[in-house]
Amino acid sequence: MSAMQANSIAFVGFGEAATSWVEGWGAGRAFEVSAYDIKTAHPSAAVRDAKWQDYRRWNVRGESDLATALRQARLVISLVTADQALLAAQACAPHLAKDSLYLDCNSCAPGTKRAAAQAVESAGARYVDVAVMAPVRPALHRVPLLISGPHVLEASHALRMLDMRVEKVTGGVGTVSSIKMVRSILVKGLEALTAECVLAARRAGVDVEVLQSLDESYPGFNWKERARYMLERAMTHGVRRAAEMREVARTVEELQLPPDMATATAHWQQRIGELKLRAPAGDAIGHYAARADAVSQALAQGAGATPRDEDYDDIPGTYVFDAEHSRLGYHLNMFCMSLNDAVNRDAFRAGEESYLDRFPMSPEQRASIRKREWNEMLRLGGNIYYTAKLAAYDGLTFQDLAGKMTGMSREDYRRMMVDGGRPIEGNRSKSEWHHG
């Protein structure tokens, strides 16, 4: 791009990062910016109105549909949550201008980035892997960026025209994401460890002594101030950080290592973020205590706890599709839904393994699809209404599918349902199997 033209920049996702970059460019920018954010379709009127207010505040041309926001855009910047990054790329692909640059700035596993790149490049646009390497505030548009992939020269030129700090990294799509993901094991993990440490220390009444001891072991780190800052990050951005850490866990799995620390970090970040607490204001060092107490009290009251299905675990063959299962099975379900499109069905038929590469699923999820293990798909986060799309692709009716999931023929399953359904005796709970 030799020059930034009107309507040439479009944001997909208009949250903290996007608004910070627009703020950094200033009101006198010589180009117009468009944006699309799914919050404009949120069920809550308050959420929708707040997003439209964001557009007006930053003099951005907000649009209610993706296609209109991307029209004429020569530079598309994706800044969504990590769990939505691939879906966003796939949704954008049909609307991208030929040879436009698609900057995927989301914190995702290299495998996720490569699947997104395939969608974008197949549409005739140019995909760039971008890693945002520091908090966007206070740096705003000058936050350091790393970029990799086949189009780094064009992307570097475009970003430097916007007065942004960018460094090219040799390697294909996924290279800078590997840097970001592996770095996050420590950065986001330290936040989670600090939260657990400080919360436990406060409840034990020994936080002053613990943090003083840590300062002696790690001189210059300033644990009280760091604890204050890290708690605020988790309180404000925990849910988004948890989504990133699930991508970190996928990265570690792609490297054939156990993702234990990344997974545990995701749990802590999610738990604190779902409390939806506003961090007590103030920059005083002692405010770590106020923030820790706010989190500790909310946890004690059960606020923000993710509903679990322990009450249902004892029912044979039951997998409750709650928030945790939804996150677990997101990419599996997106694969199943993609089969609604005839083009995708043809691609899957031409090569199942290569098509599955578009979706960063776990090896167990891929195996369950390959072997058509329907109940296993549900255990791994699948939703029956999504997995039924795969069954339909195979030519199965819903009765056929239900029969396979219950170990019956279609006729036997139909007869059982006509006769009143499965008898409750022996199927009420697993515990009764052991108690006669």
| Topology annotation, domain 310-433 | Protocatechuate 4,5-dioxygenase; Chain A (1.10.700)
Ranges of CATH 3.40.50.720 domains, the chain: 9-173
In this prediction the pTM is 0.67
Q: What is the pLDDT along the chain (436 residues), one digit of tens a residue?
A: 444 443 489 999 999 999 999 999 998 898 999 999 999 988 888 999 999 999 999 999 999 999 999 998 999 999 998 888 999 999 999 999 999 999 999 999 999 999 999 999 999 999 999 999 999 999 999 999 999 999 999 999 999 999 999 999 999 999 999 999 999 999 999 999 999 999 999 999 999 999 999 999 999 999 999 999 999 999 999 998 998 999 999 999 999 999 999 999 999 999 999 898 987 765 554 579 989 999 999 988 875 444 444 455 556 667 777 766 777 788 888 899 899 889 999 999 999 998 998 887 888 889 999 999 998 999 888 998 899 999 999 999 888 888 788 777 778 777 777 777 666 665 555 555 444 4
Three-state secondary structure readout of 159-214 = HHHCCCCEEECCCCCCHHHHHHHHHHHHHHHHHHHHHHHHHHHHHHCCHHHHHHHH
Burial 158-192 (b: 16+ CB within 10 A, else e): bbeebebebeeeeeebbbbbbbbbeebbeebbebb
Residue type, 261: M
| Topology annotation, domain 178-300 | N-(1-d-carboxylethyl)-l-norvaline Dehydrogenase; domain 2 (1.10.1040)
Give the separation between CA 25 and CA 30, rounded to whole angstroms: 9
Sign for the pseudo-dihedral over CA of 390, 106, 128, 19: positive
Burial of 42 (0-12, 13-18, 19+ CB in 10 A): middle
Closest CA to 170 of 129, 201, 205: 129
105 in Cβ contact with 113 (< 8 Å): no
Tokens of 206: 């020994």
3-state helix, strand, coil in the chain (%, to 5): 60, 5, 35
User: 9-173: what CATH class?
Assistant: alpha beta
88 in Cβ contact with 80 (< 8 Å): yes
Give the separation between CA 381 and CA 310, rounded to whole angstroms: 15
* Pairing of β 145-148 and β 126-132: antiparallel
pLDDT at site 372 = 93
Give the separation between CA 133 and CA 250, rounded to whole angstroms: 19
Q: How many residues does the chain have?
A: 436
3-state secondary structure of 81: coil
Ranges of CATH 1.10.1040.10 domains, the chain: 178-300
pLDDT at site 361 = 81
pLDDT at site 7 = 46
Residue type, 342: A
DSSP character string of 358-425: TS---HHHHHHHHTT-HHHHHHTT--HHHHHHHHHHTT--HHHHHHHHHT--HHHHHHHHHTTSS-ST
Peptide bond into 138 cis (omega under 30): yes
Q: How far is CA 329 from CA 241, 244, 380, in A?
A: 18, 15, 6
3-state secondary structure of 246: helix
Ranges of CATH 1.10.700.10 domains, the chain: 310-433
